Amino acid sequence: MRRLTWLGSLALVGCRPVPAIDDAGGSESGDDTINATASTTTSTTTSTTTNTDSSSGAVRSTSTGRANSTGETVLCNGSTPLCERPYDTVVFPGTHNSVAATESGFAAINANQTKPIADQLADGIRVLLLDVTYDDGETALCHGPCALGSRPHVEVLAELRTFLADNPREVVTIIYQDSVTPEDIAADFDETNLLDLVYTHQDSPWPTLSEMIEANTRLVVTAENSGPPPAWFHRIWDLAWDTPYSFTSLESFSCEHNRGELDNPLFLLNHWLSTEAGLPAASMAAQANAADVLLARVAECQRGMGRTPTFIAVDYYEQGDLFEVVQMLNAQR
């Protein structure tokens, strides 16, 4: 692992100093690349807020932003600059197999996270990768056999609804690995009063986060196998492409094309390590999520594929530097 160099100053709204890699390369396509010496400044008054009330789902991370004419801080996903950025140009932190958390009762052998989804959202996770299936005839979120861990789908959606209600300036994305019908998923959204928050993408350019927030369409729903109808139930591979996801060592990480068309506007970076048996490798999460490893892989994708990730999905997100890396990438775009 290479030695980290630290930015002496990064005057970016909502950012802490984060490590920069030594060899961030350019992109032949002109997509933005990591610039280890750049900084962003603003003459607008800034303020900082911190909320640690996990019971309400309020965001725990410290956020700083510009104050408007009335003195109110205007933030979108914790940052003022992101407000005017189209959804497809923002980098969002995500969790792989989000529901499969040991603190939610999932067996350690197949758990990819420690904290429950409510805590993940409060900590700043904005992309949930969820396996939805049937368990005793009911829609449930499992990972592998439901006997190793299961949560009712509607229960998790209710937690998401609470979070979105308590945090009206946050945009969240779901990527389902779906083994149930779209009709049953839609019924669960209806039951939990989430239908009024879903976003429907047309062929037009993606809206800015501010536009999504003002329209209160702050939940992007996608699925790997099914697609519309309903119109808001998007097929992810019509919108995105991703990398492989079966990596067993830091050296094996790559930016090779896996699913979806390369000219799709969204890019999912699958960034976690598994054991040779294909099980979650909790002991390697801190190394995989370290800033120099994440930034080096993003730089490789920028050089080789001409793309910066839209979604970065990891295991055990609280280990390593996921949030700092996402903040840095958003500062550079």
Report the amino acid identity of residue 129: L
- pLDDT for res 153: 98
Q: Across the strands, what pairs with 150?
A: 142
Contact 125, 95 (CB under 8 A): yes
Q: What is the mean pLDDT of residues 189-211?
A: 96
Is residue 147 in a domain? yes
Contact 278, 75 (CB under 8 A): no
Secondary structure element (H or E) that encloses residue 173, with its range: strand 172-178
Share of the chain above pLDDT 90, in %: 71
Is residue 72 in a domain? no
Task: Report how far apart the first and last C-alpha atoms of the chain are (Å, whole number).
Answer: 26
Is residue 66 in a domain? no
- pLDDT for res 9: 31
Q: What is the mean pLDDT of residues 41-63?
A: 37
Residue 39 above 80 pLDDT?
A: no
What's the structural domain count of the chain? 1
CATH number for position 221: 3.20.20.190
Residue span of the structural domain in which 167 resides: 5-40+84-332
Is residue 71 in a domain? no
- pLDDT for res 73: 76
Is residue 185 in a domain? yes
Q: pLDDT of 267-296, one tens digit each?
A: 999 999 988 888 888 989 999 999 999 999
User: In angstroms, how far is CA 148 from the centroid of its own chain?
Assistant: 25
Least Cα distance to 116 among 78, 146, 149 occurs for 149
Q: Rounded to an integer, what distance in angstroms lies between the CA atom of residue 287 and that of residue 264?
A: 30
Is residue 49 in a domain? no
Is residue 277 in a domain? yes
Q: Rounded to an integer, what distance in angstroms lies between the CA atom of residue 34 and that of residue 295?
A: 8
Q: Across the strands, what pairs with 140?
A: 133, 152
Contact 117, 98 (CB under 8 A): yes
Q: How many CB atoms lie within 10 A of CB 181?
A: 12
Mean pLDDT value across the chain: 83
Q: Rounded to an integer, what distance in angstroms lies between the CA atom of residue 18 and that of residue 24?
A: 14
This prediction's pTM: 0.81
Query: What is the three-class DSSP state of 67?
Result: strand
Burial of 261 (0-12, 13-18, 19+ CB in 10 A): exposed
